Structures are given as structure tokens and as C-alpha cells.
Chains A and B, each alone.
Chain A
Amino acid sequence: MIFNQPPFQEESTVLIKVPSWANDVFENYLICEFTSISDGKPVTFPLLFFYESSTGLFTVTSSILFSRKIENIRDNSKVSLLFSNPTGSGIAKHAVLVQGVARLEEEDLDHGWERFLTDWREKEPYIDSFLAEREKFGWFWKRIVVRVEPKKILAWKDGNTAVNPEVFK
């Protein structure tokens, strides 16, 4: 496929330093609320995400079945990931917003996303039972990898958005 975009350059330089409590959010929250932009309109859905602490990059994957967000990103690569829901994470409620630029990896829809399977299992231990039915859910397992390089992070300790956030660039 020809949609594959070049990887971020100097991936090790994108890391934005945040307080440890915000880092705990990235390491432990199960889902984020991912926003892409469609004709100037924000489109937000809850998504599983993966965080790479060594580079600070975030990754979500998208089935081709739910690929409108991919169309949006092709038109406008500015996206955001909000971390507001601590359910199942075992840590306290905070709110952290990551605004960044997304790059699509569509070269290998069948296997490109599999390098995140270990992290996926940690968040959803039952995912292997779905994988066992890969034939049945064939198009669900055709997945685009979306890598997000953060440009700005806004963090509200204890999730208190009645106060101004701490901002990190």
C-alpha cells in the first residue's frame, strides 16, 4: 500500500517531560478519548492506546471498519488524546490532554499492528479469544497504526478542570 507516511525523525527527541503523576496516567490508563478533525468539527471516540515511554510517542490502531478517523487524519494530522477515565487502571483520577501530530502506517494492515499485541494483552487480557476468531472478524483485524507525536501536554492534577492546567511543551 502506498499510504505509509515516513516515520517521525529523531524519535528520541519528541519526549515532553511531565510530572510523575501524569506519566503514571500514560503508563496505566486503559483508554483515551481520541479526537480527529472532520471539516473543522471535532470527532471524539474512546480508544485503546499504547504509550512508548522511551520516545514519548502514543499509538492507537484503527480497524478499517472504523476508519473514518483515518480519513480525517489524512486531511488534517492534528489530533488529541485525552486521558480522563481511570477505570481499571488502579491509579487516581487525573486529566491529561496530549495534542499532537499523527502519522499513519498502512503498509501492512494484517501484521503491522501486531508489534503492539503484547501491550494490548496487558490492557485486554481476553484479546486472544478474539484473535482466535480472526477469520470471523477478518476486517476488524485489518488495522492501521496511528503514531502520535505530542506537541503540547496539558495536565490537571486530580482531574480538577476548574483550575488552569499545567502546560508542558
Chain B
Amino acid sequence: MRGPTIDFKRLSEFKYAIINAVGEDGFPFSLPTDFELTPQKEILLRKPAANLPILGKKVGVLFNHISAIPTGGYTDRKYMLLWGRLNDQKGRLKLEPESITEWDEKILPFGELCAKAAPQGQKYLQTVRQIEA
């Protein structure tokens, strides 16, 4: 199966990854961990200690970045969220990406992101009106 288009140069700029799964108790479970990209464009994650049922399961892997502003707050927001399956590869977890969503405010400024999201806002308001009717 052909995976999503991933900008590996941008991906390499993130400092760590977060593995997200749904645990056996039904609650979401997130674990930060280190990652590396191989020359073959494989995404390998360090195995966390927690005994999670994540091998072969559909997981999300979030790469997130912000930069601090010296006077307070943060900027330079960007993230990549990849969904796929994790498989054991020589003691590491190899992610087989199936889909992606991402945002980088330097590429898509926040105002434009809001404009692009208008259909979701409209959907929310329509749902509310239908329920109230």
C-alpha cells in the first residue's frame, strides 16, 4: 500500500516523537520517545518501557514543535501527525505510515488556517441548530 507523502526534511527537524494509542482500559495513552530517520526513509522509534499493546495496532505518532518567546508565550508552531502501524524492527519500532495531517504556521499562517477550517465551524453550528430545532 502506498503511504502518504511525508516531507522527511521537515520531519527530521522535530526533536522527539509521541506515540498515541488506545489502551485496553479504553483510555488514550501517549508516550514521548526518541526517533530516527534512516537513509531508506524509515521512521524508527525507541521502544518505551511501558507495556503497551501497540505492536501491529493502529497508532498515531505526533511530532510537535514550539519556540519560546523571551517575553512570554511561544511561536513557530508546527506539528506532523502520522497514523499507521508499528512493527518490531531489531529492537525498535518501525512506523508504517498510512495517513498524515500537519500544520506549520510558517507555511500556512494562522488566519489562513482558520479560513480553511470554516466548513468545520459551519458543521458545528448546523449540528447545534438541528438539535435545538
Q: Mark A residues whose CB is within 8 Å of B.
A: 1-3, 30-31, 33, 35-37, 40-46, 63-68, 70, 76, 78-80, 82, 84-85, 87-88, 95, 97, 99, 106, 122-126, 137, 139-140, 142, 151-152, 154, 159, 161-165
Contact = CB atoms under 8 A, between A and B. Distances in A.
Most buried by A among B21, B66, B67: B66
B131 A3 contact: yes
A85 B21 CA distance: 19
Most buried by A among B22, B49, B50, B124: B124
B55 interface: no
Given A1-B128, A99-B29, A41 B72 contact: no
B27 A80 contact: yes
B27 A78 contact: yes
Nearest to B62: A44
22 contacts: A1-B132, A30-B66, A33-B20, A35-B60, A37-B28, A40-B22, A41-B22, A42-B20, A42-B30, A44-B18, A46-B66, A65-B117, A78-B27, A80-B27, A122-B72, A124-B72, A125-B73, A151-B27, A152-B27, A159-B32, A164-B49, A164-B50
B66 A44 contact: no
Interface stretch (B3-11, B36-44, B76-84, B86-94): B76-84
A78 B26 contact: yes
Given A44-B81, A46-B77, A125-B72, A64 B32 contact: no
Given A44-B20, A44-B81, A64-B120, A97 B66 contact: no
Nearest to A125: B72
Contact of B73 (A67, A126, A163, A165): A126
B30 A30 contact: no
Contacts of B48: 161-162
Contacts of A2: 131-132
B125 interface: yes
B107 interface: no
Given A2-B132, A42-B59, 11 more contacts: A3-B131, A41-B22, A44-B81, A46-B62, A64-B120, A64-B125, A65-B114, A82-B31, A106-B128, A154-B50, A161-B48
A123 B47 CA distance: 33
A63 B120 CA distance: 10
Contacts of A3: 128, 131
B21 to A, nearest CB: 6
A60 B99 CA distance: 26
B100 to A, nearest CB: 13
Nearest to B79: A46
